[in-house]
Structure 1
């Protein structure tokens, strides 16, 4: 049975979980520019999955999935910077980086499946 709504996509659910984790991890960060950017990027992942899902073609959906993938990479890059700036510990960052890697693999798989 085909997925009927974006909420049923596991990658959308995992990206929502990632965004909540990012919001929680950086809620007390006083570098407001950094905090807002990583939060916006994390939310962009699930939002682009949702927006693309209801497009009229697989090509449009894939385009939005690539945007979600880019936002996911932005979050991962910012997590590496957050270690160097001592915003969070390496262990905390590693846990979040692992979540971004999981989302990335899922997005690549979904892109591949809708292109075939």
Structure 2
């Protein structure tokens, strides 16, 4: 397995970035942009998916990284719940809802799998060398 040297190389970070942009596009192109409270919550939770991965990676410790991946996974669930509200308020279509819901489920599973890998890893991170 190749060594990852930056968080930008991580598939989970890249997918988190995609999700964040997809959500932003909904603000720009639907009534969701006018529901300021929900929009702000969704902007924070979608951004937190990628930001928590980046922050955990940069801490250079396995246990801290796992902790921040847990925050990221939680943000996936938070965003998915907010997507239900956006759909229920008719801000997004059923197709848009399903597309984004599936992306957050995929991201959550990938993060969970990566966490499991790190739990089993013996590499504690560069700050412990």
Q: Does 1:110 align with 2:111?
A: no
TM-score by length of 2: 0.87
Which among 74, 77, 83 is matched to residue 78 of structure 2? 74
**Which residue pairs with 1:58 in the alignment?**
62
| Deviation, structure 1 residue 60 | 0.4
Residue 2 (structure 1) aligns with: 3
Aligned counterpart, 1:18: 19
Gaps of 5+ in 2: 121-129
Find the aligned partners of 2:38 and 2:60 in 1 and give their Cα distance: 35
Q: Which residue of 1 aligns with 2:90?
A: 86
Q: CA RMSD in A?
A: 0.9
Larger radius of gyration: 2
Q: Give the corresponding residue for 1:46.
A: 50
Q: Which of 30, 35, 41 is 2:39 aligned to?
A: 35
Task: Flag structure 1 segments of 5+ consecutive residues without an equivalent.
Answer: none
CA-CA distance at 1:56 after TM superposition: 3.4
Q: Which moved more, 1:8-17 or 1:49-58?
A: 49-58
